[in-house]
Amino acid sequence: MSKTYESPFSLRWASDEMRYLFSQEKKFTTWRKIWLALAESEKELGLNISDDQIKELEDNVNNLDLNRAAYYEKQTRHDVMSHILAYGEQCPGAKPIIHLGATSCFVGDNTDIILIKEGLGIIRKKLLNTMNNLASFALEYKDLPTLGFTHYQPAQLVTVGKRASLWLQDLLLDLDELEFVLKNLKLRGAKGTTGTQASYLELFNGDHEKTKQLDSIIAAKLGLSDSYAVTGQTYPRKTDSRILNALSQIAQSAHKFATDLRLLQNLKEIEEPFGKKQIGSSAMAYKRNPMRSERICGLARFAINNSMNGAATASVQWFERTLDDSSNRRLSLSESFLAIDSILNLYINITEGMIVYPGVIRKRIMEELPFMATETILMTAVKRGGDRQDLHEKIRVCSMEASDNVKKHGKPNNLIELISKENGFRMTIEEIKEILKPENFTGRSSQQTEEFVNDIVLPRISEYNIQIKQVEINE
């Protein structure tokens, strides 16, 4: 047990792959890969850098000595310089050319973009897994009628699958946004201290073409297609705002789903998975609390609120750069990725095993359906020769009586029995009950769900070569 604070993301929630992505080891080995790419690119463009120096840098990329770097940082109070010195000790031959022409943001910002790209790839994979689970659920329950809710009041019937298609639609929008961010993600590149490339222009003896080529060569070596054409000392901090907004949108969708599920679990219509030995409450042994959905909501609020850090930071960057971004970004970026990773782990886990209770769903429908069916009953009676205005008034009076029976006396809804006793409807109670089939009141819910999933969602998922897998979570 640690004697110092550890983030719950590290202890319980986030996946190993996302935790490693934002680890010290990953960060600093990436710095070294970037220094290696810089040296290789400068050599290719004619600077006096030897093959032996390149090999020395390459051989020591993963040979981190974090304790040595920490020793130097105590002296220099500068994280980049401390790692340059530690790397240089391991690469004495290459020491003179490490970080040649670069500024701290060359390794810092370019590393951030590389990690962000990998992180968005992890998020996309899990988003697609979630969508695949929901698509299967939607198709399985596309025909099962359920009471719709507007304002959390009973409304026209939908189906369980149609409701799931709304959750899916949100995630599809999130996938579109994620792809936009990934498509437009760029490196800071090799821009020098204030973004003018002056140091590189000096190294290449005023050769503008080679200075421009350095940017594109480094980008290719680091796995991105392009660098920003112009920057200050950093890449535009609006990039962070865009990324955090995309993550926030996933959180918004997950929060909506989890809230719906929490309400449905209270209604005993649909529940999240519940382990055989899981305990819902230390005091109330009977309870089956929707703790996973609740955790989604809590983490989602964190990620949604965290998106404001990107907006605030982007808005206060003075001129070419100010350093109040650094400490904030170390928290907001990594923690948002860890939060969304944790949320999607839960979302995948829940959608792998949601429990549906058709009997409870039908019981609730039949408590409300008589009120919703009165227009159909009225039209049928009129077609049989009834007086529309007279019958409308009788339905109104019967509805008020039935409503009082339900609300004031806790009795079953007896609207159909009351109507069947009225003169003028010319319908038996059996004929009226035949109208009350829930399937008659769901419109195109089933067809919409099938068309949406089969024609839009599944083809979109199939565009990606992803592994569909189950996710284990820590309770």
Residue 282 has pLDDT above 50, yes or no: no
Least confident interval from 4-13, 84-93, 177-186, 202-211: 4-13
* Catalytic status, residue 225: no
Q: What is the CATH number of domain 361-441?
A: 1.10.40.30
Query: What confidence score (pLDDT) does residue 123 get?
Result: 97
Give burial (CB, 10 Å; 0-12/13-18/19+) of 235: buried
Coil vs helix vs strand at 249: helix
pLDDT value at residue 356: 97
* Residue 281: pLDDT over 60: no
How far, in Å, CA of 153 to CA of 144, rounded?
20
What pLDDT is recorded for position 83? 97
58-70 average pLDDT score: 96
CA dist 39 and 45 (Å) reads 10
CA 38/CA 32 separation, integer angstroms: 10
Q: Express as a percent the part of the chain with pLDDT over 90.
A: 79
275-283: average pLDDT: 54
Query: Which of 71-85, 217-231, 280-294, 387-401 is the least confident region?
Result: 280-294
Residues of the chain with CATH 1.20.200.10: 104-142+152-188+237-356
Q: pLDDT class for 10, splitting at 50, 70, 90?
A: confident
- Which residue among 281, 315, 403, 462 is the active-site one? 281
Provide the mean pLDDT of the chain.
92
pLDDT of 285 reads: 47
Average pLDDT over residues 405-429: 89
Catalytic residue among 2, 151, 327, 409: 151
Q: Where in the chain is CATH 1.10.40.30?
A: 361-441
Which of 110-124, 249-263, 364-378 bottoms out in mean pLDDT, i.e. has the lowest? 364-378
> What pLDDT, on a 0 to 100 scale, did the predictor assign at position 472?
55
420 in Cβ contact with 433 (< 8 Å): no
Q: Are 335 and 240 in contact (CB under 8 A)?
A: no
Q: List where CATH 1.10.275.10 sits in the chain.
A: 23-97
Beta carbons within 8 Å of 347's beta carbon, 6+ residues apart: 126, 130, 254, 257, 258, 296
Residue written as tokens 């390459």? 58
CA dist 222 and 38 (Å) reads 10
d(CA 153, CA 150): 5
- Higher-pLDDT residue of 293, 435: 293
How confident is the model over 39-64, as a mean pLDDT? Answer: 98
Is pLDDT at 280 greater than 60 in this prediction? no
Annotation marks residue 83 as catalytic: no
- Please check the confidence at residue 20 and state whether its pLDDT lies above 60: yes
* Residue 266: burial class (beta carbons within 10 Å; 0-12, 13-18, 19+): exposed
User: What span, in angstroms and rounded, lies between the C-alpha atoms of 293 and 347?
Assistant: 8
CA torsion sign for 72, 74, 80, 83 is positive
72-129: pLDDT as tens digits: 999 999 999 999 999 999 999 999 999 999 999 999 999 999 999 999 999 999 999 9
Task: State which fold the 104-142+152-188+237-356 domain adopts.
Answer: Fumarase C; Chain A, domain 2 (1.20.200)
Q: Which residues contact 199 (CB under 8 A, 6 or more apart)?
A: 101, 102, 103, 192, 193
CATH number of 23-97: 1.10.275.10
Specify whether the CB–CB gap between 345 and 126 falls below 8 A.
yes
Predicted pLDDT at 424: 85
Provide the pLDDT confidence category of residue 40 given band limits of 50, 70 and 90: very high
Over residues 355-368, mean pLDDT = 95
